[in-house]
Amino acid sequence: MESPDKINQFLSKMLMDEAPELTAELLLQKFRSEDIAEIFDQLEQAEIEGLYHAFPTGMKGELLIYAGPTLLPVLISILKSSYGEKEIAEILKDISDDDVTDILLEFPEEQRNAILTYFPFQDRKEISHLIVYPEDSAGGIMTTEYFAVKDHLTVREVKQRLKTTEEIESLLYVYVLDREGKLKGVCSLHDLLLAFDEETMSMIMTQDVIFVNCLEDQESVAKIVEKYDLFAIPVTDDQRHLLGIITADDIMDVIREEHTEDLYKTVGTAEDEIYTKNVMRVARIRLPWLITTFFGSMLSAAILSAFNRTLQEIVILTSFVPVITAMGGNIGTQTATIVVRGLAVGYLNIGKLKATVLREISVAAIMGVVVGFIVSAIAVLWHGQPLLGVILGLSMVSAIIVASLIGSFAPFIFERLHIDPAIAAGPLVTTANDATGIVIYLGLATLMLQWLH
C-alpha cells in the first residue's frame, strides 16, 4: 500500500486535471484498488461520481468491496441514480457472493430482486440463500465459496478435483461431508498433499471439527476463531449440513467492528456520528446519554441539598466534593472498562465473578489508602483540622471501593439482562459513583458534625 503522503500528493495533482478518463487511467497505473478507495474517501461526491464512471466495470466492483463506511453509501447512491439493474449486475458479477449480498442489502427489495435476475442461476441461488440471514450472524458473514468432498473419495480423486476447481476464496481447508451433505470432518491442504493417493478422506480427516451454527452471533464466532487460531471456520444448520465458511479476513472485520462499537458505547455515542454531516442526527445520537448524565447530576444535586445543613455549618466540606466524585468516577470507569473488555474477549464470565470482584476490591483498597492518605495530609495542612483529614481519608477509601464494586458488578448484571455490557462503562457508572461518593463523604461528615468545628 502506498504511503498517505504519496497518496495525498497524487490527489492534489489529480484534482487539477479536468479529464476523468485520464485521471482514472493514472490511478489504475499508480495505485492498487485499496489505495484508490482511500483516495476516493477524500473527494467530494461530485468528483467521486465523475471518476467512478470513468473506471472499467471490474474496477467499479472492486471499489465497492474496499469502500469504507463513508464512501460506500456514496457509491451505492451513484449506482442507484446512474445505472440500470443489468449494469449493476455486470459490475457485481466478479465479486464473491457474500460481498454481493452485503452490497445488495443497501438496495430496496424490489430493485435488489430485479438486479438478481441478471445473475447466473447458481449465483442467484447462493445470494438469495445468504440474504435471509441476519446481518450480524454467522450466516450473514459467511461465503458459500468453499471446497468440500465426500468422505469415500480417495486422496488421488480429491487432488484431481482440486486441479479443475474454480477460484475459491479460501483453499486452506478441505471439508469432508457424508452422503447426506453433513459436515463429518476437515483436512488441511498440507495434510492432503502429504497423504498417500490410495487413502480415503475419511482416513486422513480430522473428525473433531470446530464449526458454528448459521444463526450464531458474529461476535461469538470471532471469539471462537481467535481462541483456536483458525484461518476459516465452517458454518452449518441445525442438522449439521455445511452451508458455508467464514474466512479470517471477515473475522478481522468483525473484531474491528465490535471493538469500535464497544468503544463508542462506553462514551454514549455511535460510529455513525463520524460519517454523518447532519448535525441533527449527531445530536440525536448524543442526546440520550446527555440526558442520562443530566438526571444523574440532578440526583447528585438533590443529595447535596439533603446535606445542606451540614454544608452550611462546615463550608470547607464543599471544596472537597469534586475530589471525592472525581476519584470514585475514575476508578469506577477503569474497573468497568477492564471487565467489559474481559467479557468481550471471553476472558471473563459469570463463573469468574467472585474472583474478579475480589481482585478489583483489593486493587481499589490499595489505591484508596494511598490517595486517602494524600488528601488527608493536604486537608490537615490546608485547614489545620485533623478530623477533616480523617473524614476525607475514610471517605476516599470507601468511595473508591464502592466505585470499584459498581464497576465490577454492573457489566455482569447488564450481560445477564442481555444488555450490551459496554453501556456499563459509560455515563451510568460515572453517575452512580458520583452519587454514592457524595453520600459517603457527607454522611460521614454529618455523623461527626458535632466534633467538626
Given this model, what pLDDT does residue 348 score?
A: 75
Mean pLDDT of 6-19: 58
Q: Residue 400 falls within a domain, yes or no?
A: yes
Q: Is residue 89's pLDDT more than 90? A: yes
Same domain, 292 and 416: yes
Lowest mean pLDDT among 100-104, 153-157, 250-254: 250-254
Structural domain contains residue 261: no
Residue 31 and residue 4: Cα distance in Å, rounded? Answer: 12
Closest Cα partner for 139 from 54, 269, 237, 257? 237
pLDDT at position 356 is 84
Given the C-alpha cell 451454527, which residue does it identify?
A: 213
Question: Are both 168 and 129 inside the same structural domain?
Answer: no
Give residue for cell 463550608: 315
Range of the domain at 361: 272-447
Q: What is the pTM of this model?
A: 0.64
Per residue in 355-404, pLDDT (tens digit) is 888 888 899 899 989 998 998 898 888 878 888 888 888 988 998 999 88
Lowest mean pLDDT across 199-203, 227-231, 238-242: 227-231
| 244/280 same-domain check | no
Taking the C-alpha atoms of 27, 29, 32 and 37 in order, what is their torsion angle to the nearest 10 degrees?
10
CATH code: domain of residue 25: 1.25.60.10
- pLDDT score for 347: 73
Domain boundary among 110, 133, 156: 133
Provide the domain count of the chain. Answer: 3
Share of the chain above pLDDT 70, in %: 84
| 278 or 356, higher pLDDT | 356
Q: 155 and 286 share a domain?
A: no
Confidence of residue 423 (pLDDT cuts 50, 70, 90): low
Q: Are residues 179 and 234 in the same domain?
A: yes
- H and E: helices and strands count for the chain: 23, 6
- Please tell me whether residues 163 and 20 are part of one structural domain: no
Q: What is the DSSP string of 149-217?
A: EETTSBHHHHHHHHHHPPP-S--SEEEEE-TTSBEEEEEEHHHHHHS-TTSBHHHHSBSS---EETTSB
Mean of the per-residue pLDDT values of the chain? 83
Asked if residue 24 and residue 128 are part of one domain, the reply reads: yes
- Whether 140 is covered by a domain: the verdict is no
Q: Is the pLDDT of residue 168 over 60?
A: yes
Whether 174 has a pLDDT exceeding 90, the answer reads: yes
375 Cβ contact list (under 8 Å, min separation 6):
320, 323, 389, 392, 393, 396
Residues 287 and 240 in one domain: no
Q: What is the pLDDT of residue 14?
A: 58
Residue 29 within a domain: yes
Pair (291, 438) in one structural domain: yes
CATH number of the domain encompassing residue 416 = 1.10.357.20
Do residues 217 and 159 both lie within one domain?
yes
Residue type, 398: S
